[in-house]
Structure 1
Amino acid sequence: MVIRKAEERDLPAVARIFAHYVAESVATFEEEPPSVAAWRARRADLAARGLPFLVAEADGQVAGYAYAGPWRPKPAYRHTAEDTIYLAPGRTGAGLGRALLGELIAGCAAAGVRQVVAVIADTGDPASEALHRRAGFEYAGRLTAVGHKHGRWIDTVLMQLDLTAATPSAPSGP
Structure 2
Amino acid sequence: MLPEEYERRRRLPAHLREPEHREPDFAFTIRPVAAADLPVVRDIYRHYVLNSTVTFDERPKTLGQWRRSLREATELQLPFIVAESATGAILGYALVQPWKQRSAYRYTVESSVYLSPAATGRGLGRALMEALIEATKARGVREMIAVIADQGADASIRLHERLGFDEIGRMGRVGQKFGRELGIVLLQKSLRKKR
Q: TM-score range by the shorter chain?
A: over 0.9
* Residues 41-80 of structure 1 mapped to structure 2, 5 A cutoff: 41-58=68-85, 59-80=87-108
1:94 paired to 2:130: no
- Does 13-22 or 51-60 show the bigger shift? 51-60
CA–CA separation in structure 2 for the residues paired with 1:153 and 1:90: 28
Equivalences, count: 167
CA–CA separation in structure 2 for the residues paired with 1:92 and 1:15: 17
Normalising by structure 2, what TM-score?
0.83
Q: Deviations over 1:65-93 (max 9, x none)?
A: 00000001111000000000000112111
Structure 2 counterpart of 1:21, from 28, 31, 48: 48
Point out which structure has higher relative CO (alpha carbons under 8 A, 6+ apart).
Answer: 1
One-letter code aligned to 1:2: T
CA–CA separation in structure 2 for the residues paired with 1:166 and 1:21: 36
Q: Percent identity?
A: 45
One-letter code aligned to 1:4: R
Q: Deviations over 1:88-125 (max 9, x none)?
A: 11211111101100010011111111000000011234
Runs of 4+ in structure 1 off by over 3 angstroms are none
Is the partner of 1:45 in helix, strand or coil? helix
Residue 145 to residue 104, structure 1, CA distance change in 2 (3 Å): same
RMSD: 1.2
Is the partner of 1:90 in helix, strand or coil? helix
Structure 2 counterpart of 1:131, from 131, 138, 159: 159
- Structure 1: gaps (5+ residues): 168-174
Which protein has the bigger helix share?
Answer: 2
Normalising by structure 1, what TM-score?
0.93
1:140 paired to 2:182: no
How many Å apart are 1:165 and its aligned residue? 4.6
Is the partner of 1:102 in helix, strand or coil? helix
One-letter code aligned to 2:151: T
CA–CA separation in structure 2 for the residues paired with 1:16 and 1:160: 28
